[in-house]
């Protein structure tokens, strides 16, 4: 567990707080490692309808992975593999979270912070937000999952520009490139945003979230490209079967709900 990754629950809303404001909320190895179990706890709490991910303080959502730890955890290839596995598991836990997840972004959203935000269903940004994906400056490669998410959101050309240059985008430029859903003038009032209220009030079932995500993924450019590659076509077939199974489960949940609420 990590003292710097905190879950706060209030009614139907759970907030995942990155709590290292004095350093712009960098994500440590301990935080990456703790994330899956924390998300699992929220996912299994039937009272929680929505997850909000945000950074402590007023300066940053997250300045990225804690590069001060790299010398310790990434000093050799074996250590780098262990570190990368922790971030990969955390990343998959975020993208696979079965309830609507919203990244509330203010200030810096860089590297690993952007990785978390990309794993959410929505990204709401304050006007002072700044986005950047900067592994190229460190001589390392961004994760495959996060790269795919970035490409699906912004398109190949914009993704290449962001990854190759390592430049920061302000909130308006990020909005123009589809990295965020909406720009908010007053960050403290984001709870009043229509999409946020809709997500909280919805009687949506986790299996519905999973099914809709899978159907959206089927329409992403990356998967259409997979269909053109025979050696990877099996992955698409598996996803199609997964969508069918989810839709079957969703119908059962809907029927059970009708009888339960009569």
The backbone torsions φ and ψ at residue 93, rounded to the nearest 5 degrees and listed phi first, read -65, -35
User: Which residues, in sequence order, are CB contacts of 217 under 8 Å at separation 6+?
Assistant: 223, 239
Cα(239)–Cα(147) distance, integer angstroms: 19
Give percent of the chain with pLDDT exceeding 70.
66
CB atoms within 10 A of CB 93: 18
3-state helix, strand, coil in the chain (%, to 5): 55, 15, 25
Provide the Cα torsion 20, 21, 22, 27; round to 10°: 40
| Residue pLDDT, tens place only, 218-249 | 444 444 444 444 444 455 455 555 555 555 55
Kindly tell me the burial class for residue 189, based on how many C-beta atoms sit within 10 Å of its own C-beta (0-12, 13-18, 19 or more). exposed
Nearest-angstrom CA–CA distance, 204 and 201: 9
Tell me how crowded residue 225 is: count the other CB atoms within 10 A of its CB: 12
What would be the CATH architecture of the domain defined by 5-197?
Answer: Alpha-Beta Complex (3.90)
Q: What per-residue confidence (pLDDT) applies to 61?
A: 96
Global pTM reads 0.72
């Amino acid at each position: 567990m990590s003292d710097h990754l905190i879950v706060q629950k209030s009614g139907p809303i759970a907030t995942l707080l990155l709590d290292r404001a004095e350093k712009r909320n960098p994500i440590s190895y301990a935080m990456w490692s703790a994330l899956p179990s924390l998300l699992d706890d929220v996912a299994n709490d039937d009272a929680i309808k929505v997850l909000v991910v945000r950074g402590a303080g007023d300066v940053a959502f997250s300045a990225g992975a804690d590069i001060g730890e790299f010398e310790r955890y990434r000093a050799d290839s074996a250590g780098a593999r262990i570190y990368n596995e922790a971030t990969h598991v955390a990343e998959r836990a975020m993208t696979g979270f079965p309830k609507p997840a919203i990244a509330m972004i203010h200030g810096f959203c860089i590297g690993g912070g952007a990785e978390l935000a990309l794993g959410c269903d929505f990204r709401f940004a304050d006007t002072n937000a700044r986005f950047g994906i900067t592994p190229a400056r460190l001589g390392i490669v961004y994760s495959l999952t996060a790269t795919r998410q970035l490409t699906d959101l912004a398109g190949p050309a914009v993704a290449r520009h962001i990854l190759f240059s390592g430049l920061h985008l302000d909130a308006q430029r990020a909005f123009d490139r589809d990295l965020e859903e909406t720009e908010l003038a007053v960050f403290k009032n984001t709870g009043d945003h229509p999409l946020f209220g809709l997500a909280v009030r919805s009687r949506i079932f986790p299996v519905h979230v999973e099914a809709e995500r899978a159907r959206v993924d089927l329409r992403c450019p990356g998967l259409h490209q997979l269909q053109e590659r025979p050696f990877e076509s099996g992955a698409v077939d598996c996803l199609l079967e997964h969508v069918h199974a989810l839709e079957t489960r969703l119908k059962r949940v809907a029927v059970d709900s009708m009888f339960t609420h009569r």
